Each structure stands twice: as C-alpha cells, then as structure tokens.
Chains A and B, each alone.
Chain A
C-alpha cells in the first residue's frame, strides 16, 4: 500500500493551461505539504496544511491554489501555467510537531 500517492506522475502541458495535481496519504497524518524541486534539485516548501487549514504559504504566486478537502488529501491547482513552473512537485505528509515527512513519488511538470 502506497503511503503518500500523487497523480499524475508526469504532466506535459502548454503555456497558459490550467492543471491539477492530486495527493492522498493513508498514514493518518495531520499535516501535508507541497514542495517544488527545480532543475538544480533545490527543494522549496510551497504550502503546508494542518487538519485542512493552511498554515504556511511561502510567497507562492497566487496562480497556485492548494485545496484540502479533508486531512488525507491535498491537491494543487495551477492556473495560467508558465515555462518557469516546469519542475518536480512533491507532496508530503507528517505528524505536526516534528515527525518525519513521507513523500509521494513526485510529479514532473513540463510546460512547453
């Protein structure tokens, strides 16, 4: 059973389109994250949710909108995609207070 699963694994789309990435965790964790990994492998936190509430928003453009329908799901919707959005996006979950984060397999987004 996959602990943190995100779909799709690969996403190729044209500039200006809108796309979503879905994430689900079955670990019973109360905190979920989105990270962006650029071409230099730098991992930057984008958002963090605790029990469906947004607790961290790291100055991400408002074209990125996370949504957490329940504490097991955290989806990422991106409007008006730009070339610079091309990256690998990771979803992760953990227990609030410092438990290790478990990661999904990543979604490689390519904007052409």
Chain B
C-alpha cells in the first residue's frame, strides 16, 4: 500500500529565513508524480509545486524548490525567504493511481 510520512508535525521559521519540510513515501511504481499542497487558515487547498518522477531535475517555483531523491523515496520542500503568508499546513502528496496525502506539517512564520 502507498504510504506517505511527514515526520515534522509542526515547524516554525522567522520571516526571510529558509525552512525545509521533509516527506518520504513508499510506492512500487516507477512512474508517478509528487506534489506539495498548502492549506492556509482559509482551508483552501493550493498547489505549491509539482515533480514528475521521471525527471531528475528538481522542480523550482519562485521561492519554493524541492529535493527529490527517487531511490530514497524522499521529496522535501524548501521555502526560501519565508513570508508571513507562507503560514499554513503543508501536505506532501504522491500520485500513482490516486492522489494520497501525508499527515501534514504545520508551518508558522514569525515576524
């Protein structure tokens, strides 16, 4: 069965600093996709970044980047220059035949 582990239930970071959220997953598939979603207090689910497993290059989206280690089944999210608006729950979500979510990391950005 597909599993997703986010080992950091809560994290905090000061504004303008960098923070990394970790995620490991388990799948027997070779081709799949990985996503990070953010859920601010408004509860809207917002896509942050996407990675195709067949691509070796790590995805980058402005201040957000990933470190994808396929052999280790690791998919961490780095947020640079953290902003107050980054305060949210962050979910790692692999897709093989369905999109499943990790337990989430609550990130608090302090001024």
Residues in chain A within 8 A of chain B (CB atoms): 33, 35, 40-45, 48, 56, 88, 90, 92, 94, 98, 100-103, 105-106
How many contacts A-B (CB < 8 Å)?
A: 47
Nearest residue (CB) in B for A98 is B33
Residues of chain A with a CB closer than 8 A to B33's CB = 98, 100
Given A33-B99, A45-B98, A94-B99: A100 in contact with B50 (beta carbons within 8 A):
yes
- Tell me whether B43 and A105 are in contact (CB under 8 A): yes
CB distance from B60 to the nearest CB of A (A): 16
- Tell me whether A41 and B89 are in contact (CB under 8 A): yes
Residues of chain A with a CB closer than 8 A to B28's CB = none
Q: Which one, A40, A42, A45, A106, contacts B43 given CB within 8 A?
A: A106
- In the bound complex, what is the Cα–Cα distance between A94 and B103 (angstroms)? 21
Q: What are 28 residue pairs bridging A and B, where the CB atoms are less than 8 Å apart in the complex?
A: A33-B98, A33-B99, A40-B103, A41-B39, A41-B103, A41-B104, A41-B106, A42-B101, A43-B91, A45-B98, A45-B99, A45-B100, A56-B97, A88-B43, A90-B45, A92-B45, A92-B99, A98-B33, A98-B52, A98-B95, A100-B33, A100-B35, A100-B47, A101-B47, A101-B99, A103-B45, A105-B44, A106-B43
Residues of chain A with a CB closer than 8 A to B91's CB = 43
- Tell me whether A103 and B44 are in contact (CB under 8 A): yes
- In the bound complex, what is the Cα–Cα distance between A88 and B39 (angstroms)? 13
Residues of chain A with a CB closer than 8 A to B89's CB = 41
The answer to whether B32 has its CB under 8 Å from any CB of chain A is yes
Residues of chain B with a CB closer than 8 A to A41's CB = 39, 89, 103-104, 106
Residues of chain A with a CB closer than 8 A to B50's CB = 100
- In the bound complex, what is the Cα–Cα distance between A40 and B10 (angstroms)? 12
- In the bound complex, what is the Cα–Cα distance between A103 and B43 (angstroms)? 10
Nearest residue (CB) in A for B89 is A41
